[in-house]
Amino acid sequence: MRLREVKERLFVVVLMLFIVLSSLACSKGGNNVDPDPTEPDGTGVIIATFNVGYDNPSATSEKTWENRKDLVANVIKTHKFDVFGAQEPLFNQLEDIEDLLPNYTYFGRSRTGETNEGEFAPIFYNKETVEILESGQFWLTDQEDKTVPTVGWDARYPRTCVWVKVRHKTSNETFYVFNVHFDHIGAQARAESTKLIMTEVPRIAQGYPYFLLGDFNFDQNGANYHEIQGSSLFVDTYDIAERNINGQRGTFNSFNVNSTSTVRIDHIFVNQQNSPTISRHQIITDSFGGHVPSDHFPVMVEVEF
């Protein structure tokens, strides 16, 4: 074989090796993890929080609920949520989600106490994979009776916490999920709601594993976040997950698919003592034709008990 032919073959081999190595390097997503999976890794329980954005009558184009509802349902179905807390849906949105996803239903009254009107912070669950053993709701307020809808402290609106006691049918594990949407105006209300939640969640959960999730309207750098995260009661699943997907992304995107924010205001906390294994924490950045389902990216965790 002539020297020129040897050089040409050697060049081809080196080129093919370079292409293979490059493809392997590019197959890794943010934070040195695999690209965003759409399937659970195994038998883990999928728990999520999703601010779906309220049905704003003045919204334009792709921001309208009519144009977003199928996208919201697609995310829930694709990522196989077992239990998730939603924030901001109005009653018609709850009906739409149930119609589009007949395996799912929800628990919770609106923040003003109605069952068929107002803005909700419900907990949805897949009836095929989980069973609700107990459920409840209380208001984030300075009033003594927290079962009555009232505005607390300097909040603009009544704010509530919805909770469920869940049994996962496959694993036969029992745990609690608490869903909140803290006030966006009242700084005192957010601070006092944080303290109230830190008392009520462990009391209600009675030694079972618990997940506190929702739109907290404070980020990972705020004092309220550090009060929760710095306690002996809670730990952010973001910090203990074995895999962290899209960990550098923020959760509020303002309907901008290319948002570069790193601010996380949607969190999933878990009991710190004897916490279950969080095999995956994922900020879901799914988009459809350049459009996102909501002005918040949903957050999910895969849990192994």
Q: Do 168 and 60 lie in a common domain?
A: yes
Q: Which residue has the higher pLDDT, 39 or 226?
A: 226
pLDDT (tens digit per residue) in 183-219:
999 999 999 999 999 999 999 999 999 999 999 999 9
Q: Do 8 and 117 lie in a common domain?
A: no
**27 in a domain, yes or no?**
yes
Q: Do 57 and 172 lie in a common domain?
A: yes
**Contact by Cβ (8 Å): 125, 164:** yes
Q: Do 25 and 87 lie in a common domain?
A: no
Q: Do 143 and 17 lie in a common domain?
A: no
**Contact by Cβ (8 Å): 137, 100:** no
Q: Do 267 and 120 lie in a common domain?
A: yes
**264 in a domain, yes or no?**
yes
16 pLDDT exceeds 50? no
Q: Which pair of tokens denotes residue 133?
A: 């053993």
**134 in a domain, yes or no?**
yes
pTM here? 0.88
Q: Do 4 and 60 lie in a common domain?
A: no
**42 in a domain, yes or no?**
no
Q: Do 227 and 198 lie in a common domain?
A: yes
Q: Do 30 and 98 lie in a common domain?
A: no
DSSP β-bridge partners for residue 174: 167
Q: Give the C-alpha separation, 95 to 89, whole Å.
A: 10
**43 in a domain, yes or no?**
no
Q: Which pair of tokens denotes residue 72?
A: 């919201």
Share of the chain above pLDDT 70, in %: 86
- State the total domains in the chain: 2
Q: Which pair of tokens denotes residue 185?
A: 């105006």
**Strand, helix or coil at 226?**
helix
Give one DSSP letter per residue of 59-91, joined into a string. Answer: --GGGSHHHHHHHHHHHHHHTT-SEEEEES-BH
Report which of 46, 26, 239, 209 is spatially closest to residue 125, judged by C-alpha positions.
46
Q: CA-CA distances (angstroms) from residue 303 to 84, 116, 254, 262? A: 13, 33, 29, 24
pLDDT at 85 (0 to 100): 99
Q: Do 27 and 58 lie in a common domain?
A: no
Q: Do 97 and 120 lie in a common domain?
A: yes
Domain span including residue 17? 1-34
pLDDT (tens digit per residue) in 134-156:
999 999 999 999 999 999 999 99
